[in-house]
Structure 1
Amino acid sequence: MGKVIAVCAMKGGVGKSSLAVNLAHGMAVKGLRTLIWDIDAQGAVAFLLGVAAADGLARKLFTKGRDVGGYIVPTNWPDLDLIAADLSLRNLESDLAEDSPKRLRKMLDLLRQDYDRVILDCPPGLSGISDQIFRAADLLVVPVVPAPLSFRVLDKMLEYVEETRGPKAPIALPVLSMVDRRKVLHRQMADSAPDWPSIPHSSTIESMGVKRAPVGEYAKRSAAAKALAQVLARVEAVVGG
């Protein structure tokens, strides 16, 4: 059975989608059959992968009885498929308010049979959708910018997961994101969490929006690519070990 890795954060603008895309690409390059499922209404994943958006159809996937497989599209890379998002997901929380809390897990259980890895790009914040994700995921990868408030928000999120899921809580892997070591505060916060993987604030990663490709495709020897490879290694050490 495949593993489900949810890339999630309490707030936007922390490099969540770019991290999800690079992890998925890295897994596919290693020969793991990988699906990246974008549940964030911004639809960034399809854009970063150079694939067309879902064109208003993403919400219909969550209609009871829908075939998940019908929404999967290939990308430009072997072993990497996509379920794209679009703005139709903006009201997904209310759409699923009366739905089974196990709906998403059942859909993912079907996907586990066909894929070695399923990467979820989650909507920011805590919601009913988050609860379903925490119920279904094997690992939470949580990008965090190096700032006191961000660390506090991370603590609150992990406390919530532990309280709601207890012994069934998924493993959480915090990842320092957008680290600028020229800033004293960034250095101090990063040094306070030496065991967390760290991704630099980098124009190489920002260029994904121009190249519409993962970093490993156009800058595989860059510092950013090496940092992302270290995150991937940590993830695989958890889910593959």
Structure 2
Amino acid sequence: MAVIGVYSVKGGVGKTTLAVDMAWRAAVLSRHSTLLWDLDPQGGAAFLLGMEERPGKRAASVFQRDGRPRDLISPSPYPGLSLLQSDESLRSLSVALARIGHRKRLANLTAALSAEYPRIIVDCPPVLNEISDQIMAAADVLIVPLPPSPLSVRALDAIRQEMLRSHHRHPPILPVLSMVDTRRKLHREVVSGFAAGWPVIPMASAIEQMAVRRKPIGAFAGWTEADYRLGKLWDAIEAKLRMREAIPA
């Protein structure tokens, strides 16, 4: 079982696109029963999977003492992939978590779901508060998409400092350069400079088409460079998770 958090302190960096893509690959290509848990109130995960918005505002209720996440899980159009949708109730989740005072509530919930879902992908909101604390406590690995900019170093440092401040034992961080256009000099300098060796996801029309077609890229453009890059990223993550799972507890 592994919990993969897709997290950024900044919106608009391809976080939800990456979360949906990894969940699709985990279920369809790696054949794991996979849960995509959307904690971002914008609800982009359901949209990109071609699913309709769930009526009601109950997403935050699963964090209550008597919360029942299984009641809110829906099958996606793809075999092996289920979704726990977000809704506007998550906008006040940080306040509710502070009131509950249970810093490992998300970790306990994902552990309870692990028998059914060996892979749980969490699409995280771009915040540094009680929600990010919960995610850092629950995740086995944290994927951090970042734009090809010198400011990305500061964003990554902020995440690392928060993790060290709040968590003595924290998940490994995998930074990923997102929306890279190698025609731009600055982007090339970032790729060959401080971000050398990081996975690179290109700026590509096929990725943009995910929001138009409402499908993961592998479902309609599996022959493209963007799909190849996303596939290499997932293969690397999956290889690390298999190694981790092979180590006796």
Query: Scaled by the length of structure 2, what TM-score is found?
Result: 0.93
Write the distance in 2 (CA, Å) between the matches of 1:132 and 1:88. 17
Residues 1:135 and 2:134 are matched in the alignment = no
Mean Cα deviation higher: 29-38 or 60-69: 60-69
Q: How many Å apart are 1:61 and its aligned residue?
A: 2.2
**What's 1:171 paired with?**
172
Residues 1:70 and 2:71 are matched in the alignment = yes
**What's 1:84 paired with?**
85
Q: Secondary structure in 2 aligned to 1:143?
A: strand
Q: Secondary structure in 2 aligned to 1:97?
A: helix
Write the distance in 2 (CA, Å) between the matches of 1:57 and 1:146. 37
Q: How many Å apart are 1:86 and its aligned residue?
A: 1.4
**What's 1:22 paired with?**
21
Q: How many Å apart are 1:236 and its aligned residue?
A: 0.9
Write the distance in 2 (CA, Å) between the matches of 1:98 and 1:113. 29
Query: Scaled by the length of structure 1, what TM-score is found?
Result: 0.96
- Whether contact under 8 Å (2:16, 2:123) holds in the other structure is yes
Q: How many Å apart are 1:233 and its aligned residue?
A: 1.2
- Whether contact under 8 Å (2:190, 2:196) holds in the other structure is no
Q: Secondary structure in 2 aligned to 1:96?
A: helix
Amino acid at match of 2:14: G
Amino acid at match of 1:33: S
Alignment length, in residue pairs? 239
Amino acid at match of 2:143: V
Q: How many Å apart are 1:204 and its aligned residue?
A: 0.7
Q: How many Å apart are 1:13 and its aligned residue?
A: 0.2
Mean Cα deviation higher: 93-102 or 78-87: 93-102
Q: How many Å apart are 1:79 and its aligned residue?
A: 0.6
Q: How many Å apart are 1:101 and its aligned residue?
A: 1.0
Q: How many Å apart are 1:203 and its aligned residue?
A: 1.3
Q: How many Å apart are 1:189 and its aligned residue?
A: 0.5
Amino acid at match of 1:162: L
Cα deviation, 1:167-187, whole Å, max 9, x if unaligned, reads x11011001100011111111
Mean Cα deviation higher: 19-28 or 59-68: 59-68
Write the distance in 2 (CA, Å) between the matches of 1:113 and 1:38. 19
Task: Determine what percentage of the aligned residue pairs are the same residue.
Answer: 43
Instruction: Return 5+ residue gaps in structure 1 as ranges.
Output: none
Matches within 5 A, 1:22-61: 22-29=21-28, 30-55=30-55, 56-61=57-62
Q: How many Å apart are 1:126 and its aligned residue?
A: 0.8
Amino acid at match of 2:53: A
**What's 1:10 paired with?**
9
